[in-house]
């Protein structure tokens, strides 16, 4: 096994950005050609060309490399591009559901389309997300990979798309629970297993499929990596809360603050592990106020944020992230049904993903070398 070098990672990022830009200018433009207003193309294109670390595509490329896949780099990048386009479509739909107005400093699709489409902007954006999901498999289908392998990879990608949609629906069902105290940490982690987890596991499944591992091995990869995916989800929720607390403590107008903080699940009153931990450790009066907020009877987000911070729920979640990571490492290293090369590759790729998920790590900042226009903002 040879680990990717920094120059490998930067080159993959450059190649991936090039393919995604080309897709936006060709397949996406062709798919939206019948739409009278070009704003739809532009709004959708943002979701595959905006600055991003390309977590899913890069995880696939890293895993394929460490598994020793002997496939032309152009075909590997094509598979990675398919993952990123599919992810863009789902993110677009997420923004409609969450009512977000910005993503990565740019208007969300339904917000960008408010001018030309008025009250139908969300509906137009919904179909734009469908367009992205529809063209996502094209890079795989057009690759030079053997036809049977192209079919298997496309099936894995499309099945994952359905799994993520189901997982997002389950999250909405969880958020509708009238008694948040009845929602356990295990339930929340189970729901997390259907959100980010299928994305990352799909990247690993595709890499394993390229070296002709059967579905049994893919299932073992899921078993080994699930808790780490849950850890990433909890870590992401925790980062969203901290960003929310930061912007709420600024001197900006409240509307601007909420726009900046639109990645926070707390602002959406979601039942998260962070909220569960706070409910478990707050005194009764504060717990009642948090419950009132979660059920829509309290709108003081600043006070609720301070209340959760004082509960020490952040520390509890940080500890949970570590515990889940340890569980994942143990599963990977001790599963006798995982081939040794797969165990080694999983450990290496998960280590890379953990570093990539940390914005302060050197690995996380490598992508700036592929996006020179971001250097001033780094």
Angle at which helices 340-357 and 313-334 cross, to 10°? 160
pLDDT at 178: 84
Tokens of 233: 């989800």
| Residues present in the chain in total | 378
Alpha-carbon distance of 154 to 206, in angstroms, equals 9
pLDDT at 153: 98
In a structure prediction context, what are the per-residue pLDDT tens digits for the chain, which is 378 residues long?
A: 778 999 999 999 999 999 999 999 999 999 999 999 999 999 999 999 988 889 999 999 999 999 999 999 999 999 999 999 999 999 999 999 888 888 877 899 999 999 999 999 999 999 999 999 999 999 999 999 999 999 999 999 999 999 999 999 999 999 888 899 899 999 999 998 888 899 899 999 999 999 999 999 999 999 999 999 999 999 888 988 988 888 888 766 655 555 544 457 888 898 999 999 999 999 999 999 999 999 999 989 999 999 999 999 999 999 999 999 999 999 999 999 899 999 999 999 999 988 887 778 888 877 777 776 655 443
Q: Could you tell me how far CA 355 lies from the centroid of its own chain?
A: 15
Give me the long-range contacts of 346-349 (CB less than 8 A, separation at least 24): 346/63, 346/204, 346/221, 346/224, 346/225, 348/1, 348/3, 348/62, 348/66, 349/59, 349/62, 349/63, 349/66, 349/204
Please work out, in degrees rounded to the nearest 5, the angle formed at the alpha carbon of residue 342 by the alpha carbons of 336 and 348. Answer: 120
49-to-20, 108, 300 alpha-carbon distances in Å: 6, 13, 36
Q: Write down all domains in the chain, each with its CATH number in brackets.
A: 1-145+345-378 (1.10.600.10), 179-189+201-338 (no CATH)
pTM, two decimal places: 0.91
Burial (CB count within 10 angstroms: exposed 0-12, middle 13-18, buried 19+), residue 36:
exposed
pLDDT at 254: 56
Best CA proximity match to 93, nearest among 159, 164, 22, 17: 164
Provide the sign of the torsion angle of the four alpha carbons 331, 336, 338, 344, taken in this order.
positive
CB 290 within 8 A of CB 304: yes
pLDDT at 53: 87
């Amino acid at each position: 096994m040879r680990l990717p070098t920094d120059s490998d990672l930067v080159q993959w990022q450059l190649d991936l950005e090039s393919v995604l830009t080309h897709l936006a200018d060709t397949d996406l433009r062709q798919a939206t050609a019948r739409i009278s207003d070009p704003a739809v193309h532009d709004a959708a294109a943002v979701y595959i060309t905006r600055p991003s670390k390309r977590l899913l595509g890069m995880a696939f490329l890293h895993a394929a490399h460490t598994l020793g896949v002997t496939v032309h780099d152009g075909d590997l990048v094509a598979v990675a591009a398919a993952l990123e386009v599919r992810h863009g479509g789902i993110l677009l739909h997420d923004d409609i559901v969450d009512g977000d107005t910005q993503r990565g400093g740019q208007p969300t699709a339904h917000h960008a389309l408010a001018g030309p489409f008025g009250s139908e902007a969300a509906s137009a954006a919904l179909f734009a997300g469908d367009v992205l999901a529809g063209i996502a498999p094209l890079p795989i289908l057009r690759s030079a990979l053997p036809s049977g392998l192209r079919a298997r990879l496309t099936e894995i990608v499309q099945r994952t798309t359905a799994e993520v949609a189901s997982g997002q629906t389950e999250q909405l069902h969880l958020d509708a629970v009238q008694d948040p105290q009845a929602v356990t940490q295990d339930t929340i982690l189970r729901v997390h297993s259907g959100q980010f987890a299928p994305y990352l596991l799909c990247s690993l499944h595709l890499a394993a499929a390229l070296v002709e591992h059967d579905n049994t091995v893919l299932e073992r990869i899921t078993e080994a990596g699930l808790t780490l995916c849950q850890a990433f989800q909890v870590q992401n929720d925790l980062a969203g809360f901290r960003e929310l607390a930061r912007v709420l403590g600024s001197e900006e107008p409240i509307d601007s603050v909420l726009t900046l903080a639109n990645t926070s699940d707390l602002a959406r009153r979601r039942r998260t592990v962070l909220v569960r931990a706070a409910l478990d450790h707050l005194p009764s009066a504060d717990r009642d106020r948090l419950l009132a907020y979660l059920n829509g009877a309290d709108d003081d987000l600043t006070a609720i944020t301070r209340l959760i911070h004082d509960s020490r729920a952040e520390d509890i979640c940080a500890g949970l992230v570590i515990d889940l990571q340890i569980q994942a490492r143990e599963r990977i290293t001790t599963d006798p049904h995982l081939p040794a090369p797969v165990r080694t590759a999983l450990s290496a790729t998960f280590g890379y993903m953990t570093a990539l998920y940390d914005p302060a790590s050197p690995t996380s900042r490598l992508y700036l070398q592929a996006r020179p226009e971001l250097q001033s903002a780094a």
